[in-house]
Structure 1
C-alpha cells in the first residue's frame, strides 16, 4: 500500500515524507494496542539517500514474518549502544527459564516481567505454552520497564507474536514506589540490572524485607525479594543473577541466602557459562524461587558452566542440546525429589542438597560447591584397580585399530597415480552435475514438540542430535535423548535412520554431515537434522561414501551456510533449498574409489583420536590410584544424617 501511494517524482524529500507517514501509521497501531508510541520521532532522524533505497527497504520488510523480530532485536542491541542494564536476555537462556516455569498444570496463569528489556522473556513464556499444545491455557501477560525505547520494542515484539499484553512504564527500583498497585502473578520472569547502586532500603522499613534487608548500594537481593513478594500462592519465579550473588561475603546478603534456604523459598540454582551476553563476559545463574510455604527445603544445584559453543571470539551460545540437558536435569529431580533427599543427577550436571549441607558451606549457593565435590568423591581401591585395568585394555584395543588404519593409509598414499588419473580432463569429462533432490530423498527431522512428547528416561531408542555428528560419523553420548520403541516404530517411524543414510545439521552450525552405520540402524532423526537417503535407481545412483565426502567439503558447507535462512539468531536451511545443491557425479567406480579412500582418512582420524582418549583415560586412572590422599581432600562433607548413621 505504501509503494502504491508513491508520488510521481520520488525525490529525497518525498522519501522523507513517506518515512513520516510510516511513523504516524505505526504509532497509531501502537496506541491501539496500548503501547507507548514514538516511532515517528525515531524515523525523523533518518535521512534516506534516495527514494529507491527506501522502496527497497519497504519491499524487504514486507517479506519478513513474526519470526524475524528476534533477529531485528539482536541487530538493534548490537548497534544501539545499550548499557549493561539494557542488554537483552540470550534466547537460549529465555527458553530454559520458560520451559522450567510455564508448563506446570493446565490452569490459566498470569505472567509478569517487572524489568522488561526487549520482551524476550515474556515471548519465550508464551512460545513455551504454545509448544505444550492445547493442554496448557495461554497466559495473561504483563510487564513494566524503565526504558521507553526498549519498552516500545517489547510491545512490538509481543504484538507481532499475537500476544496481547499490558505493558507499563516502570521503575529501576520498583520497591521504592510506595503507591504501587499490588498486582501479583503466577509466574515471574526477571533479568534485573546487576549490582545496581540504587539504595535498596530507601522507602521501606527493615521489617518490610521478609528475608532480610539488602545492603545499601547493591540491589541484587532487593530484586529477589521483590519477585517473591509479587507471586501468588503456589507461584514461582525465574530470576537471573550475577554469580557474585551466589556466595558473596557480605553479611546481609549471606543472611538473605540463609533465609531463602531455611524457609524453602529457593528451589533451584543453575550456573551458566560466561560470555552469553552481547557486550559483557559476566557469568550468570538462574534462580528458581517459589512462594509455597511448607514445601520441601531441598535445593537443586545445576552446574552448566562448561556448556555452550563459541559463536565468535567473544560470544558463546547454548545449543539446543545444552538447554534440553539443563531442563531434563531439573525435571528429573522434580519427578523423584519427593522420594529422595540425596538426589545426584545421572547427567553429571546436578546435585540436590539439604539445608544442613548448605549450612555447612556457609550458605554458599554456588553449584560448583556441590556438583563438583560430589563428582570428585574417591572410589574404593578395587574400583580404581578395575578402572586402571580396563583403561589399559582400552589402550591396547585402540592401538590395534590405529595400526590397522595406518597400514591402510600407507596403501592409499602410495596410490598417487589414482589422484592424477581423477584430475585428467578426459576423466572429468565423464562427470555430470545433478541436483541433490534428483539423487536422494531429503527428509527434515520431526518437530521438537513431537520428540519432547515421546521421549522417556525409560526409552531404548536414541534420538540423533547435532552433537552426535563427529568426524563424519555418529557417536553415542552420555546425555542421549531416548524414546520408547513403540513410539520409534509408531509415531516416529518416518524419522528412523538406516545404514547408508547421511545426516546433516540444518539449524545452528549448519553443514556438518555424518554417515549412518549399522549400529545406528533404527535410531530417530533429531529435529535439527536433515536425512539424505539415496534412491534405489541405477540411472541416478550415488554412493553414500562419495556423497558424504562431497557434503563434507568446506565449499559445500559454506554453500549451505550462505543459504541458511536467519529467521532467528540461529540460521536454518530449508529442505527445498538443500534439494537444489548441485552434486558433481562421476562414474560409479570412481565414486567408489573416492569414497573408499576418504573413508580411510576418516578411519585414521578416528582411531588416532580414540587412542589418544584411551591413553588420557588410563593416565587419569593411574594418577587417581597413586594420589588417593589428594583426592580424599576433595570429598564432600558428610551430611549430619550420614554422620549419625
Structure 2
C-alpha cells in the first residue's frame, strides 16, 4: 500500500536541505514537479512519496541522517505524524518491541532498531518539541534548564518537577547527578516524551506519570528539590481545591495559578528543601497575590527573585522571573531576600546569577561588582503595602554606591584597552578587484559532507564550530573558542560543524558574514529569519582558506577589542559622573 502522507513546502525544503524559495522555484521551473493534493492556495500540501521520487530523480535528495530516516519512515502512511511520535516512543522504550500497528510504525521501528534506542528516542524528542514549539507550546530552553539545575545543586538528591512538560528540567538535573527524578504533567503525550528524554538515565530512579494540581500523582512526596516551569493563568482548580491543605500561605486567588504552583512546590518539599520555579513577572506585583507574597516573606519561604534577560527562554518576548524558595524548618524565622536584575548576553547573566545565589546562600556579602544588578533586602522591608517583589524596583540604580577604588580600577582598565588598540588595527593592501574563486553554496557543502548543520538547542558546542543566530537582520557570526567547548547551543541558533582539514572555520565564518551573504541568508519579513544554507562560499584550497581565516580572525579580534573599549568607556563615563554626584570622587579634574 502506497503512503498517503502529505508534506508542506517547508517540509520539502527541510527534506532537501534548501530554503523555501528554492521549492517555489522548482514548482515554477519544472513541469514534472508534484502537484498539490491538499492544503490551501497559500499553503499547499504534496504527497510525500511523489516528492521523494522527484527529488531522487533530479539528484536533489541529500543523504539522510538516522533521525531524518526515522521521521521519514514515520511520515509514510501516517494520518497524523505528530500524534504517532509518542506512540512510536512508547514502542521503542518497550522491552518487547510490539509488532502491532500500521506499516509506517513497523518501518519506523526498523529504523529505530538500526540507529539504536538512545539515538531514536533523542530524535523523537527533538521532533516532538520542534512541532509543538511551532504550534505555540512553550518549552524551557536548555540554557535556562541548565542554570536552574546548577543553582539548586541536585547531586545525590531527589528531584521533583510537578509540571514537567517534556522533561528538560529533569534532564538537566540528571546531568548534574540527581539520584532520583520524579515528574508529572497533565498532557499524556508530554509524559511519554519526558520519559523518552530520561530513558538513558539508567543509574537514576525515574518516575514520570500523568498528574495535575487537581489530580496529584505524588501526594506524599517529600523531595529534596523541586524545579518547574509551571503553566499559569486562572484555570488551576480554584473551586475544587479551595479547602486543600497545600495552601499554607493563604488561598491563591482565582486568577493567580502560579501562586498555587509555588505553594504546591513548597508542600512537596521536605523541611529545608529547596525549590526553583520560572514565573511570569506579573506574579511579583499583581495586587491579587499580595497576601500570599506577604506570607511567603513572613515565613521565610521566599529566598530570591531573579529577572532573566529577554529571550532567555520561551516566551521570548517576556523577561521571566526565577523564584527560589525553601520550605521552612521548625526554627526558621523571616530572612532576607536576594533580588537580581540581569540584562544583555546570557553567559554574563548566568554567571551573575550563580555568583549572587552562592554568596547569598553562604550568608556572604554580594561582590562589589554586583552593585546595580543585585541586592539583598530584609524580608520585612518588602512586606509593605504593595508587597512588590520586582527586582528592578528595589535595586539601587547607582554607580553612586561604588567605591572610588573600583571606579579608578575601571578607568585604568580603559586606559589599558585604548593602549592595545593601535597594535591590532588591520592592515589593508589594494587587490585586483576580482573575487577569490568560483562559489559553492552551503547547501552543497552539506550534501558533500563537508559541513553539518545542527539546530538542536541542547547540542554541545565544540571548539571551531561556527555559530549563527537564527533570527536577526545582521546576525553576528562567531567561531567557538576553547571557552565555548562543552556548553549547550541554546535556542534560535544554527551550529555549523566543519570537516576540519577540508574547510577552515574562520574563513567560512568570515565569508558568511559578508554583506552579500547576509542579504542572501536573511529574510525580509517583520521577523528577519536566517537560512544559512543559502550562503555562498569560495572554492579555495585549504592553504588559501587558512590565509583568509587568519585575516578574518584578526579582524574579529580588532572589532571585539574596539567594542569592549567603547563599552568600557561608556561605563567609566557613567561611573565617574555618578561618583562626582555622590561625593565618592572629588569634583576636580
The TM-score, its normalising length taken from structure 2, stands at: 0.59
Q: CA deviation at 1:32?
A: 6.0
Please give the per-residue CA displacement for 1:404-445, whole angstroms capped at 9, x wherever unaligned: 877x85xx4xx43xx3499899xx9xxxxxxxxxxxxxxxxx
Match of 2:171 in 1: 123
The secondary structure found in structure 1 opposite 2:382 is: helix
Q: CA deviation at 1:299?
A: 1.8
Is the Cα–Cα contact under 8 Å of residues 167 and 195 in structure 2 kept in the other structure?
yes
- What root-mean-square deviation, in Å, do the aligned CA atoms of Structure 1 and Structure 2 show? 5.3
The secondary structure found in structure 2 opposite 1:553 is: helix
Separation in structure 2 between the aligned mates of residue 287 and residue 112 of structure 1, nearest angstrom: 16
Q: CA deviation at 1:265?
A: 1.0
Match of 2:478 in 1: 512
1:620 aligns with 2:578: no
1:326 aligns with 2:353: yes
1:78-227 alignment, distance < 5 Å: 78-80=130-132, 87-103=138-154, 106=156, 109-129=157-177, 139-162=179-202, 163-174=204-215, 181-200=219-238, 202-205=240-243, 209-227=247-265
Q: CA deviation at 1:582?
A: 8.3
Q: CA deviation at 1:599?
A: 8.1
Q: CA deviation at 1:374?
A: 5.9
Please give the per-residue CA displacement for 1:121-174, whole angstroms capped at 9, x wherever unaligned: 222221111xxxxxxxx5233222211111121222222443553333213534
Is the Cα–Cα contact under 8 Å of residues 27 and 38 in structure 1 kept in the other structure?
no
Separation in structure 1 between the aligned mates of residue 406 and residue 89 of structure 2, nearest angstrom: 69
Q: CA deviation at 1:327?
A: 2.6
The TM-score, its normalising length taken from structure 1, stands at: 0.54
1:469-618 alignment, distance < 5 Å: 504-505=464-465, 512-513=478-479, 527-528=485-486, 550=507, 553-555=510-512, 584-585=542-543, 605=559, 609=563, 612-613=566-567, 616-617=570-571
Separation in structure 2 between the aligned mates of residue 401 and residue 157 of structure 1, nearest angstrom: 48
Match of 1:355 in 2: 379
Match of 2:273 in 1: 235
Separation in structure 2 between the aligned mates of residue 511 and residue 400 of structure 1, nearest angstrom: 27
Separation in structure 2 between the aligned mates of residue 549 and residue 119 of structure 1, nearest angstrom: 36
Between structure 1 and structure 2, the one with the greater Rg is 1
Q: CA deviation at 1:290?
A: 1.4
Q: CA deviation at 1:114?
A: 1.8
Please give the per-residue CA displacement for 1:485-527, whole angstroms capped at 9, x wherever unaligned: xxxxxxxxxxxxxxxxxx7457887973599xxxxxxxx8663
1:75 aligns with 2:113: no
Separation in structure 2 between the aligned mates of residue 276 and residue 25 of structure 1, nearest angstrom: 31
Please give the per-residue CA displacement for 1:263-284, whole angstroms capped at 9, x wherever unaligned: 1111222221333445663332
1:268 aligns with 2:295: no
The secondary structure found in structure 1 opposite 2:294 is: helix
Q: CA deviation at 1:228?
A: 0.8
Unaligned runs of 5+ in 2: 1-72, 439-460, 470-475, 488-503, 518-538, 584-589
Separation in structure 2 between the aligned mates of residue 65 and residue 347 of structure 1, nearest angstrom: 46
Is the Cα–Cα contact under 8 Å of residues 224 and 274 in structure 2 kept in the other structure?
yes
Structure 2 CA distance for partners of 1:361 and 1:305, relative to 1, 3 Å? farther
1:281 aligns with 2:317: yes
Separation in structure 2 between the aligned mates of residue 22 and residue 615 of structure 1, nearest angstrom: 53
Separation in structure 1 between the aligned mates of residue 558 and residue 312 of structure 2, nearest angstrom: 36
Structure 2 CA distance for partners of 1:29 and 1:204, relative to 1, 3 Å? same
- Report which structure shows greater RCO (CA 8 Å, sep ≥6): 1
Structure 2 CA distance for partners of 1:141 and 1:284, relative to 1, 3 Å? same
1:248 to 286, 290, 303: 286
Separation in structure 2 between the aligned mates of residue 27 and residue 424 of structure 1, nearest angstrom: 53
Unaligned runs of 5+ in 1: 1-11, 130-137, 309-318, 429-464, 467-502, 516-523, 530-546, 559-580, 630-645
The secondary structure found in structure 1 opposite 2:325 is: strand
Separation in structure 2 between the aligned mates of residue 212 and residue 387 of structure 1, nearest angstrom: 49
